[in-house]
Chain A
Amino acid sequence: MTIARMQDKVLELIEVCKTYKGELFEKPFRALDGITFELVRNKSFGLIGLNGAGKSTTIKIILGLIFPDSGEVRVFGKSPFEEEVKRKLSYLPENPNFYENLKGYELLEWVGRLRGLMGKWLKEETEKWLCKVGLEKDGGKLIKKYSRGMVQRLGLAQAFIGNPELIILDEPLNGLDPLGRKMARDLIAEALDNGATIFFTSHILEDIEKICDRVCIIHKGKILKFVETKEVENLEKEFIKTLEEYEKNA
């Protein structure tokens, strides 16, 4: 059972294509062109690319927010729309916007409840995660009053509460000060230790290098390369090199 579980594919994308239809006078935009990759349980996977390369689109497809034109998406072996799939994953959007009229702990409790936590256990987990992200004093404040960094921290808390199996993070270290970033990296490492799978995008390749086992370079909707971070000295150099090679041959 253990071996089978360890090989268990948490995420699978097969030849996924997505074209955004242009509005009025805009030309249709080919966002994803034959994206194929898979993510195995308890690994951390990074997606890197320039702006507009297709990172957000990929994430939205994984979350079931948009639908691929062709190809297959499987999350935990099932379609991303199913509720039980969403129960096992969490998501932190880039520059998150949460409902401002709620207090920090209310949002956390709400998410926790949706993930199946209840009663006293819910309250404990909420407390615990507020502390872990350094918001123990601010849980009772309205999110309207949070600074950018505090919102990001809350975002991390809601991504981890309930111990989801797959955690999808879009630029999670954005808006955090150096201590905050360390905290975030520690939390991600802890989650990995607890068996979670991490899917991560960022522009800060240094962080990707530290956290991810495997990295995928995406450019203009296509996957250029997979890189094992252990095997590469400097991810940034590798990234730029790959891009330049592609442009030369294109």
Chain B
Amino acid sequence: MRRTLEIAKITFKQALRERSFYIILVLLLLAMIGMPVLYSFTMFEIPRILTGFALSFANFVVLVLMLFLILGLIQTDLERKTLQYVISLPIKRKDYVIGRYLGFLAFSAFLVYLVLFLLFPFIYYFSRLRPDAPFYAGYYFLYGIFLLVEIQILVAFALLFISLTSRAIVSMFGVVGVYVAGHTIDEVAEFLRTRMGMQMPAFSKIVINVARYLFPNLALFDVKTNFIYNVGINPAFLIFSVIYGILYGIIVLGIAVVLFERKEIL
């Protein structure tokens, strides 16, 4: 446990020092400046536009940064062979996988809520100036949880790919691929359902519905629109999504741990 935390801590420290993080901070500053600008040329539903912007910004920024970090890690560990060195240290192989996971998770949480907290005063202030639509502060901060659940699935997959292959580029494509697939699964399922509609045998429908949850259905965590407009919010379903996401991440991580134990670190 102690060693897992050591890995986690060092992961956090590394992430904090990445140049991309500073670029994100600059972007964050621009976003804060952008809020009043946004306020002046938005027509309607100011609180919603500002919230939408803030949440989308958080989403984009954290996603991009985590992808950079993960891909960077894959590159260092696999291509520049730091992994060989790290595994020779007194840690269990599974400490590495779990430690990395926890480290990234902690860093993402830090980043997500940093963004949300820094943008909050702006949204609050301008929403008060023109409250032509409600601002749901509770939902605003709750969104962070969903974003984190999505990120941790991607992190788990990244570690899975590191355990599977020695080629950095495969891992990179893998992670990006999971993201793309995760967001289009729902659309594909909808598309197939409406296109083929009644013509499909019941079996296929079952298969599609199973596939929706077998593959990481990342679209489940895109609750931004729901939270901004207060539509389609089903608490049971939201809780289900979070649990699904966390379990999914843990299972993928578990597989990564098992594979990593047997992996030859060339």
Contacts and interface: CB of A to CB of B under 8 A. Distances in A.
A and B touch in the complex (CB under 8 A): yes
A65 B88 contact: yes
Contact of B264 (A65, A86, A106, A110): A65
Given A65-B84, A97-B82, A102 B13 contact: yes
Interface size class of B (residues with CB under 8 A): 20 to 34
A87 interface: yes
Contact of B10 (A65, A84, A110): A110
A60 interface: yes
B84 A111 contact: no
A114 B85 CA distance: 13
B72 to A, nearest CB: 9
Contacts of A90: 88
Contacts of A102: 10, 13-14, 17
Interface stretch (B45-53, B89-97, B118-126, B234-242): B89-97
Interface of B: 3, 6, 10, 13-14, 17-18, 76, 80-82, 84-85, 87-93, 264-266
Contacts of B92: 83
Contacts of B6: 110, 113-114
A215 interface: no
A108 interface: no
B97 to A, nearest CB: 14
B85 A83 contact: no
B13 A101 contact: yes
Contacts of B266: 60, 65-66
Interface of B is mostly: helix
A28 interface: no
Contacts, number: 70
Contacts of B17: 101-102, 142
Interface of A: 60, 63-67, 81, 83-84, 86-87, 89-91, 93, 96-102, 106, 110-111, 113-115, 142
Given A66-B266, A97-B80, A98-B82, 17 more contacts: A60-B265, A63-B84, A65-B265, A66-B264, A66-B265, A81-B93, A83-B3, A86-B88, A86-B90, A93-B88, A97-B81, A100-B76, A101-B14, A101-B17, A102-B17, A113-B6, A115-B90
A83 B1 CA distance: 13
Contacts of B88: 63-65, 86, 89-91, 93
A83 B10 contact: no
Contacts of B264: 65-67
B20 to A, nearest CB: 11
A87 B87 CA distance: 11
A178 B266 CA distance: 32
A98 B82 CA distance: 6
14 contacts: A60-B84, A63-B87, A66-B265, A90-B88, A91-B85, A93-B81, A97-B80, A97-B85, A99-B76, A99-B82, A101-B17, A102-B14, A110-B10, A142-B17
B85 A98 contact: yes
B90 to A, nearest CB: 4
Nearest to A83: B92
B258 to A, nearest CB: 14
Contacts of A99: 10, 14, 76, 82
B246 to A, nearest CB: 28
B84 A93 contact: yes
Contact of B18 (A64, A66, A86, A101): A101
Contacts of A81: 93
A204 B92 CA distance: 34
Contacts of A60: 84, 265-266
A66 B265 CA distance: 6
Contact of B87 (A65, A89, A97, A100): A65
Looking at B3, B10, B13, B85, the one whose CB has the most chain A CB atoms below 10 A away is B85
B90 A83 contact: yes
Nearest to B95: A83
Contacts of A96: 85
A113 B91 CA distance: 11
